[in-house]
Structure 1
Amino acid sequence: MTNDIISEANIELKVRANDWRHAIQLAGDLLTRGGHTTHEYTQEMIQAVETLGPYIVVAPGIALAHSRPAPSVIKTGLSLTTLVEPINFGSEENDPVEIVFGLCATDSNNHIQIISRLVEFLDSEENIEFIKRCTDRRDVYLAINRVEEGV
């Protein structure tokens, strides 16, 4: 599938994180291993939350870790990590977080399609619950990427 918004290798399910920094590190490591970013980008994502607060916790239980386009981004990409035990990021409205996405973009417009397709997928509470309980990354990969195909 050439229109995938996430690759299967960029999905890791049911992992343990010590705190929100570690949760972002896990999502960032997937982006780095997938050839999307350098390790510096992960530190930039963490620094963004340290500077701006938990703005990345975009919905109940869901964080979208990201930073600005930078030389540390090689190509636009998305990663997904689910946590065995939810972690507090400091968001009064949306903590604790169980699902952490990592997003990187080469420019400010390059990620719009990924975000819109991801939002479409996450618009269904059923899909969110599926991600939270799923243990097979292939199933998650297929579910997220079939959005555009209308399946």
Structure 2
Amino acid sequence: MTDNFDPADAALPPLADRAIVLQARADDWRDAVRLAGDALVDCGCATTEYTEAMVRMVDDHGPYIVIAPGLALAHARPGPEVRRDGLSVVTLATPVSFGHAHNDPVRVVIGLAVHAPDAHLTSVAALANVFNDSSAIQAIADATSRDQVRDILDARRPAS
């Protein structure tokens, strides 16, 4: 990353059709994170080991991935478990609690897999830009199609 980095220029990783799961059922936060990880595995972005690493991040560090009311950003450290950069979006039919004091329950889980540490930071910045508009979380939670999810993400990205 350079000193001239502008988060508005950050691009989101690819979002494959198979990586968008709408109105999924999860019994708890572990199931919700695994759904996001499984979607990354299904589209060839990560291995099952990456999914389990995402779960361990919450076990080890708490519910810090619940970054806004109703929104969790599931991820793990970049490494060999990431095959290629990618994003997943999972909406939950019934919200689940992650144990976050202010932002529970969660209806939308974003899965993030990136290979390089610099790409990880720029991807998180790009997601932060999208979700600066808090209505994006509710809009994604209510989405009824994959195209609608993509449109919501695209509409809230800053203009380049």
2:91 and 2:108 in contact (8 A); partners too: yes
Which residue identity lines up with residue 55 of structure 2 in the other structure? I
1:7 and 1:141 in contact (8 A); partners too: no
What is aligned with 1:139?
Answer: 148
Return the match for 1:110 from 116, 119, 128.
Answer: 119
* TM-score for the superposition, normalised by structure 1: 0.89
What is the 5 A alignment of 1:1-150? Answer: 5-148=14-157, 150=159
* TM-score for the superposition, normalised by structure 2: 0.85
Taking only the aligned residue pairs, the percentage that are identical comes to 39
2:66 and 2:98 in contact (8 A); partners too: yes
Superposed displacement of residue 147, structure 1: 4.3
1:11 and 1:141 in contact (8 A); partners too: no
Superposed displacement of residue 24, structure 1: 0.5
Instruction: List gaps (5 residues or longer) in structure 2.
Output: 1-10
Instruction: List gaps (5 residues or longer) in structure 1.
Output: none
Superposed displacement of residue 22, structure 1: 0.4
Superposed displacement of residue 30, structure 1: 0.5
In structure 2, relative to structure 1, the CA distance for the partners of 1:46 and 1:20 (3 Å cut) is same
2:139 and 2:152 in contact (8 A); partners too: no
What is aligned with 2:3?
Answer: none
In structure 2, relative to structure 1, the CA distance for the partners of 1:67 and 1:3 (3 Å cut) is closer
For the aligned residue pairs, the C-alpha RMSD in angstroms reads 2.1
Superposed displacement of residue 146, structure 1: 4.6
2:13 and 2:87 in contact (8 A); partners too: no
2:49 and 2:81 in contact (8 A); partners too: yes
Aligned length: 150
Superposed displacement of residue 116, structure 1: 2.5
In structure 2, relative to structure 1, the CA distance for the partners of 1:108 and 1:87 (3 Å cut) is same
- Deviating above 6 A after TM superposition, structure 1's stretches of 4 or more consecutive aligned residues are none
